[in-house]
Structure 1
Amino acid sequence: MGFEMIGIDHVQLAAPKGSEDEARKFYGEVLSLKEMEKPEKLKAGGGCWFHCGSHEIHIGVENEFSPALKAHPGIVVKNIEEVRRTLEENGYKVQEDTRIEDRKRIFVNDPFGNRVEFLEYY
């Protein structure tokens, strides 16, 4: 094989056109992800990007938006109970999934209906 997969650079989620402020509130304020500057040539297309550890989450806007109900990012966290508390205090419904034995997992829908998973390894 002449190539090697190194890792994931970013995950892109979609949102409705004009929803950048809502994205900034959820991803930037509630989840405390730091927004990053988009490349100048991509700014006109809307959306916003956030640092997530050594990776990035890109929120792209679509005219014909439909949320990702099954496909989702899985974000590894420390202190998942604090993540749960923060989400619930901000009005988000959290679902827990215990089907994988070596990690605790919770799911939430972002303001646009996209599924987002948070997990913490035991």
Structure 2
Amino acid sequence: MITTLDHVQLAAPPGSETALRAYYGGVLGLAEVPKPPALAANGGLWFASGPVQLHLGIDPDFRPSHKAHPGLRVVGIEAFAARLAGHGAEVVWDEKLPGHRRFYSEDPVGNRLEFLEPIG
């Protein structure tokens, strides 16, 4: 029986850790989680916000994910969108999900991210 989602992993190209750390840690405000030493040797980064974890794994044959994506629930979505736009990220609003405000954006290596907040 599955009880919860432990983490989501996105791929990233070699040498992108500095840009990813600035974006996921600095812009999105996620806390970096130390990787276990045996896994740290592979590169990449782990981040968390409460029980939610997002892992970025280095892939030498990296291709950004333009369709598959994590959906990240936020509080204060308008201010969150303005924060991303203020850092140069494109914000594309989508009103198709009933009961939610949501937008899409991309991380520095081109992976699609969805940000959403329930209405009411």
Paired position in structure 2 for 1:92: 89
Give 1:15's match in structure 2, choosing from 12, 19, 35: 12
The alignment-based identity, stated in percent, is 45
Structure 1 position 100, deviation (Å): 1.1
Q: Does 1:45 align with 2:42?
A: yes
Question: How do 1:43-122 and structure 2 match up within 5 A?
Answer: 43-122=40-119
Structure 1 position 82, deviation (Å): 1.1
Q: Which runs of 4+ in 1 moved over 3 A?
A: none
1:48-93 per-residue CA deviation (whole Å, 9 max, x = no partner) reads 0000331100011111110011000000110001110110000011
- Classify the secondary structure of the residue corresponding to 1:104: strand
Letter aligned with residue 90 of structure 2: K
Q: Does 1:5 align with 2:5?
A: no
Give 2:21's match in structure 1, choosing from 10, 20, 24: 24
Alpha-carbon distance in 2 for matches of 1:69, 1:6 = 28
Gaps of 5+ in 2: none
Please, what is the CA RMSD of the aligned residues?
Answer: 0.7
Alpha-carbon distance in 2 for matches of 1:5, 1:103 = 26
Equivalent pairs counted in the alignment come to 119
State the TM-score, normalizing by the size of structure 1.
Answer: 0.95
Structure 1 position 5, deviation (Å): 1.1
Structure 1 position 13, deviation (Å): 0.6
Letter aligned with residue 28 of structure 1: G
State the TM-score, normalizing by the size of structure 2.
Answer: 0.97
Gaps of 5+ in 1: none
Letter aligned with residue 22 of structure 1: A
Alpha-carbon distance in 2 for matches of 1:12, 1:6 = 18
Structure 1 position 40, deviation (Å): 1.1
